[in-house]
Amino acid sequence: ESVLTQSPGTLSLSPGERATLSCRASQSVSSSYLAWYQQKPGQAPRLLIYGASSRATGIPDRFSGSGSGTDFTLTISRLEPEDFAVYYCQQYGSSPPRYTFGQGTKLEIK
């Protein structure tokens, strides 16, 4: 079973800066099945990116995803105050059905 490891655990940046979040899989992941979510305190997660690089409905274009195989990246080009949250990557494997999340990266205001 593939494990997702996110780094760093915590990222401290200022509004306006660029954020780069990493997600590494222990086994190769189909790009079609790699997603990213944002979660703010007390709220449900929100889908940001699916298929490794496609933005979900209503997601601003400052959010972008890239990568393939075992290494994936979420980039926020210019941080807005509302972007400070926890981010999770997630993969899907079909045999048997498994939906695995990374442990999360907390993006905090510096």
Nearer to another protein, 16 or 44 (CB): 44
Cβ atoms of residues 64 and 48 within 8 Å:
no
Q: Which residue has the tokens 């915590």?
A: 10
Q: How far apart are CA 94 and CA 30, in angstroms?
A: 11
Min CB(96)–another protein separation in Å = 7
Min CB(12)–another protein separation in Å = 19
Nearer to another protein, 81 or 96 (CB): 96
Min CB(77)–another protein separation in Å = 22
Min CB(86)–another protein separation in Å = 8
Q: Which residue has the tokens 């490794």?
A: 52
* Residues within the interface to another protein (CB under 8 A): 32-33, 35, 37, 39, 43-47, 50-51, 56-57, 88, 90-92, 94, 96-104
Nearer to another protein, 13 or 56 (CB): 56
Cα 105–Cα 106–Cα 110 angle in degrees, nearest 5: 130
Cis peptide bond upstream of 8, omega within 30: yes
